[in-house]
Chains A and B, each alone.
Chain A
Amino acid sequence: MKSILPIIVVFGFGFFMLVSFFIPLKGIQDTSQTFQNWYIGVMAFFIFIGIFNIIKINLEKIQRRLRDWQYSIILLICLLVMMAAGFIGGPEGGLFLYFYKNVQIPLGATMFSLLAFFVASAAFRAFRARSPEATLLLIAAVLVMIGRVPIGYWIWHGFPNLVEWIMTVPNTAAKRGILFGIDLGMISMGLRVLLGIERSYMGGGKE
Chain B
Amino acid sequence: MGQVNNILARLSALDRRIIFLLVAVAVIVPLLIPIGLPVDITKPVKNIYDKVESLPEGSVVVVSIDYDPGSEAELYPATEAFLEHCFRKNLRIFMLALWPAGTPLGNMALENIGAHYNKKYGVDYINVGYKPGGPVMLLSLGKNVGDMVKTDYAGVPIDSLPLGKEVKSARDMALVMSLSAGDPGVLHWIIYFHARFGIPVCAATTAIMAPQQYPYLASGQLVGLMGGLKGAAEYETLVKRRGRALAGMDSQSIVHALLVLFIILGNVILVYQRSKR
Contacts and interface: CB of A to CB of B under 8 A. Distances in A.
Contacts of A172: 214-215, 218
B270 interface: yes
B122 to A, nearest CB: 15
Interface string B183-225: 0000000000000000000000001001110110110000000
Contact of A148 (B70, B217, B256): B256
Looking at B143, B230, B249, B266, the one whose CB has the most chain A CB atoms below 10 A away is B266
B256 A145 contact: yes
A116 B265 contact: no
Interface string A109-146: 10111001101110111111110000000100110011
A87 interface: no
B90 interface: no
B104 A37 contact: no
Given A116-B255, A151-B253, A33 B140 contact: yes
A107 B71 CA distance: 11
A111 B104 CA distance: 19
B236 interface: no
Contacts of A100: 69, 101, 104
Contacts of B144: 33
A176 to B, nearest CB: 5
B14 A124 contact: yes
Contacts of A179: 215
A153 interface: yes
B169 interface: no
A36 B22 contact: no
Contacts of A121: 16, 19-20
A40 interface: yes
Given A91-B154, A171-B214, A142 B265 contact: no
Nearest to B101: A104
Interface stretch (A59-67, A160-168, A195-203): A160-168
Looking at A111, A113, A149, the one whose CB has the most chain B CB atoms below 10 A away is A149
Contacts of B129: 91
Contact of B252 (A107, A149, A175): A149
A93 to B, nearest CB: 10
Nearest to B67: A108
Interface in B219-277: 227-228, 230, 233, 249-250, 252-260, 262-267, 270
Contact of A154 (B19, B38, B43, B70): B38
Interface in B148-193: 148, 153-155
A107 B69 contact: yes
Given A121-B20, A123-B266, A129-B270, A39 B256 contact: no
Given A128-B267, A167-B211, A172-B214, A112 B71 contact: yes
Nearest to A100: B104
B53 interface: no
A109 B265 CA distance: 29
Interface stretch (B1-9, B54-62, B81-89, B130-138): B130-138
B72 interface: yes
A141 B124 CA distance: 43
Contacts of B126: none
A150 B39 contact: yes
6 contacts: A33-B147, A43-B133, A97-B104, A104-B101, A128-B266, A128-B270
The 6 lowest CB-CB distance pairs between A and B, nearest first, are A108-B69, A151-B253, A150-B37, A40-B133, A108-B70, A124-B262
Given A120-B19, A142-B264, A145-B259, 13 more contacts: A40-B132, A43-B137, A47-B132, A92-B154, A104-B101, A111-B70, A113-B73, A120-B259, A129-B270, A149-B252, A160-B42, A164-B43, A175-B215
